Each structure stands twice: as structure tokens, then as C-alpha cells.
Structure 1
């Protein structure tokens, strides 16, 4: 983009995972990575974990297209908290009155249902456990993998929920060095597209606590796909049942999975914080820190 202009946006959050949501249906939008980083910057821009675009569908059977960009400007496949915000955004903006929609994402089609009290139920699709589909370098599929990190051998689960996740079970979440281990696992060479890292403390077969270090973002208050990944890994490792309450720093999600090729269902809230306009600089003036 060569000129500075004003961009309409909504600031939204799903249990503390915050987003800048942009209507790319009624206004033309094409942003560079530097401009995306500007929007996500909490000092010079608006500030968010990710930037979301509501766009016209380009695939048959989809109602809308959903694009997700991390705070570092890179596009990713899926975001569970974001898709709940997208459902609320489409309704509040008058773009759809339907209670059920199919959303096109890089990670595949996603079905969303609007429930009462701002609760959104999302069909996140079946988990992908085969290492090449995550992607993760491993000779065979297993429920646990040994991963060498910082001179230690960690036992992780690996799964794709439309985006790659590593899940590490810990005894005490509050004292786990998420800030140190998160970046090391995120960039581990066995994850060729990097990975989101979940740290899971099991409280009961139907209740866990979770912290997530997201690739390209850092630790966030919540991660919907991370909650799904933790519930799946916990179930295949034999420590969780088919319905799990997931307590993240920003709030609670409810995850259901009946195993096998069944979809993972996620239920949680989403809301608009405020709406506004931002003066969007050209690439030469976009602050990159």
C-alpha cells in the first residue's frame, strides 16, 4: 500500500485472547506484513494477539472466508477464539443473521453455531494425529513423543487442529517456565512450520488448567485450538474423558471429543470491546519496533 488511509475495525476478545477484526467484504483491504505488525503493536498501533479478516468465500459450500494473521504479520491456518469472535462480528455488522455458518479457513471448513448468552459453539473438525499432517518429524504415530529441549528430554503429545500443537503435561502450571520453554519448543526443528505449545495441568478427568505459548505471538490469555489440542492429547494419553473444562488465564472453554474421526467441539464466549478507525501508514512509516 502506497498511501495512508483510514481503516475501519472492531476490537474483540474471546476469554482474553484479543483481536483486531476487519471487514474485508464491504471495504477493500490489502495489508503488508509491516502494516499488520503495526496494527498488532500495543504501543504504536491498536494492539492485539491476532488480526482477523472477514472476507467473501472463495470455495463452494462456505458462507464466508476467515483469514488469520499473527502479531508478527504471518498468516496462520486456524484460531478457535478468533472464529467465535468472527461469528459475533458477522451478526453485529449485519453481514449474516444465520445461527449456523460454514467458514472457510486455511485449515479447512469450520462450522459455527450461535447459542444463547453470547456463547458460540464451533465444530473444529477431527484432530490430525499423523505426524506428516501436523507437521511433525517422527517415524511413527504415537500418543507421546520424546523431544530433546535445552538438554532435557520432554514427553509431549502432538496434534493439528488446523494448526500445529505440542502439548506438555506438567505437575504445577504456575511454576512451569513457559517463557523459557515456549520459544524453544515453538522453534524446534522437528516442527518444520513451528508449533503452538500447550502446558497442561490435569485436575480431574473432566477438568484441566492450560497455558499456551502461541507461535508468532508468545503466551496469550487464551487459545481455542490449544484447548482443543490439550483435550485431544489428554484423551489419547488416557488421562482425560470426552468432555473437558479447560481453564485458561482468560477464562473457561468447554471441549468435547468422542474420539476417532469425530469432530472436536468447542464452546465459549466472544464479545466486541470497541469499534473505531485507525490511520494506516504506508510501509515506510509502519513502525516495526
Structure 2
């Protein structure tokens, strides 16, 4: 199987061009290639497939083999791959995902894509659609008991569920302990991605993320979008201008256009290397 290792601010995936390749057991392949000791090393596997409704389709799998709906950093790399490797020859493209069709604007420098702006769609705030179990229609700064401690969460879906928690100090957070407790909490029927956020100023926030099925990652694009939306809803940032979201792997610019009710994410995408790996033994 030929592949390309790519990353968006450290959120790395193994990408396979399914215009040319066939992946028989993507869940098993995802688990194998994601292993950082015995495989290639990644946060998961993303298949770039032909689509009848868009320029291409993104089919993603987490490192535990579970199928994901959407990845903001991953889709920027899909766009870069599609342009750099000749699947598309235009700077405005569409990508089909499990969360609907996303539209992307490419910044091309010296014949290669360097930055991608993604229309991430409208945030979902209705509790049952996220889904999160709550008596409230929307969960904005609501208490949640996790392992006997009360946290205040804001729940947002960007095609996948997010719980945002504000803290004074995220650098010393024991995320390996608290992350799984949020992910598997009974309040989240489909599990949840959890963002632990520190507000820097009215234009800047810093976050760490525990992704369902992957653990802590260096970056999460949908998570950054959810954080920007939650930060506006909670009055932590200026809602009329882009928010800089600082992640472990780098920065993303997020703007929630409330007139359109659309969230726009801008950030880099990078190719690490191309390779070939034998996955024929995986059944």
C-alpha cells in the first residue's frame, strides 16, 4: 500500500490515495499504521476516495480503528494532497465527509499548497443532536460531575461532539487521567472529544485536547472550532473578529461568522514523506 504521511500542526495521519489504491480492512490498517513503534506512527488513517458529490471524499479512522466523522486538521491535508498530487487542479475545492460536504480555499506557493481555509459549517448547540444527555436544550457552562469533581462544560458539535472546559492552568493538567473519564462519561452516548482551555486575552485562547479514540493529540481542528464558538458564547473572546487558538502543535485562526452561522478555520498543512508498506497480512 502506497501512502503519504502528512500533518496539520502536528495532528498527523497516514493518507492513502484510493483513486489508485484499495484498502480492504481500513480499521485494522488504521491500528497497524498508527502504531508509533511497529507501524508508521500517526493519529489515524485517512482514505482519499472518489466522490460523486464532491471533488473527493475523506474517509477517516482513528488510531484505535474506530471510524471518525470529521477532522479539521486532516481535511486541510486532504486538500493539500488533492492539489499537490494532481487529483484537482483548482484552488477552491469540495470534500465529502461523514459530516457533510466541506468547502476549502487553498493558498498555493511555488506550486504547492501551504495554507488552507475551511468552511467547517454551522456549529450544533442542541444537546440531543451533539449528543449530550442534559435536561437543558443547550449545554453552556453547565456543571458535570466527573470522578466526583464538578466541571463546567460547554457542549458543541462540529460534526463530532466536543465538551469544552475552562481552566486557569492547563499546562499541569493530568490529561491522561481526566481525558478518558470525560470521553467515556455516561453523559456522552457517542463518547466525546474534550478541550481543556485557558483564556489568554479577548483574541487568544490556549487548549489541550483529549480526542475520543486517539487520546491526547497535538492538535484538533474541529476542537479548535468548537472552542472558538464556546468562547464567544461564554463571553471570553471578542465575537466579531477571528480567534487565535494555540494548540500544542501550533496555531489556528478560527472565525465564527454569526450572521452566516458558519465557522471558518485557517491553518497550514504539510507533507512529511511518501512510502509503501505491506498490509496484506491484515485480515
Q: What is the TM-score with the length of structure 2 in the denominator?
A: 0.94
* Shift of residue 241, structure 1, vs aligned partner: 1.9
What residue in structure 2 maps to residue 270 of structure 1?
269
What residue in structure 2 maps to residue 11 of structure 1?
5
* Shift of residue 93, structure 1, vs aligned partner: 1.1
Deviations 1:116-165 (A, max 9, x none): 45010000001000011111111221422211101011100100001110
Aligned partners of 2:33 and 2:39 also within 8 Å: yes
- 1:139 maps onto 2:135 in alignment: yes
Aligned partners of 2:6 and 2:15 also within 8 Å: yes
Aligned partners of 1:35 and 1:281 also within 8 Å: no
What residue in structure 2 maps to residue 4 of structure 1?
none
Distance in 1 (CA, whole Å) between partners of 2:84 and 2:133 is 43
Aligned partners of 1:127 and 1:261 also within 8 Å: no
* Shift of residue 29, structure 1, vs aligned partner: 2.1
Aligned partners of 1:170 and 1:176 also within 8 Å: no
Deviates more, 1:275-284 or 1:122-131: 275-284
Q: Which runs of 5+ in 2 are unaligned?
A: none
Deviations 1:157-211 (A, max 9, x none): 1000011100100101112221211110011111111000101100011101111
Distance in 1 (CA, whole Å) between partners of 2:29 and 2:243 is 38
- 1:50 maps onto 2:44 in alignment: yes
Aligned partners of 1:88 and 1:270 also within 8 Å: yes
Deviates more, 1:252-261 or 1:151-160: 252-261
Distance in 2 (CA, whole Å) between partners of 1:142 and 1:80 is 23
Distance in 2 (CA, whole Å) between partners of 1:230 and 1:256 is 11
Of 120, 130, 139 in structure 2, the residue corresponding to residue 124 of structure 1 is 120
Q: Secondary structure in 2 aligned to 1:234?
A: helix
Q: Secondary structure in 2 aligned to 1:209?
A: strand
What residue in structure 1 maps to residue 175 of structure 2?
178
Change (3 A) 1:67 1:263: same
- 1:154 maps onto 2:151 in alignment: yes
Distance in 2 (CA, whole Å) between partners of 1:164 and 1:142 is 12
Q: Secondary structure in 2 aligned to 1:102?
A: strand
Matches within 5 A, 1:212-231: 212-231=209-228
Distance in 2 (CA, whole Å) between partners of 1:196 and 1:188 is 11
| CA RMSD in angstroms, aligned pairs only | 1.3
* Shift of residue 282, structure 1, vs aligned partner: 2.1
Aligned partners of 2:139 and 2:153 also within 8 Å: no
Higher relative contact order (CA 8 A, sep 6+): 1
What residue in structure 2 maps to residue 250 of structure 1?
249
Runs of 4+ deviating beyond 3 Å:
none
Q: What is the TM-score with the length of structure 1 in the denominator?
A: 0.92
Q: Matched residue pairs, number?
A: 276
- 1:41 maps onto 2:38 in alignment: no
* Shift of residue 261, structure 1, vs aligned partner: 5.3
Aligned partners of 2:25 and 2:282 also within 8 Å: no
* Shift of residue 32, structure 1, vs aligned partner: 4.3
What residue in structure 2 maps to residue 90 of structure 1?
82
Distance in 1 (CA, whole Å) between partners of 2:190 and 2:259 is 25
Distance in 2 (CA, whole Å) between partners of 1:45 and 1:173 is 31
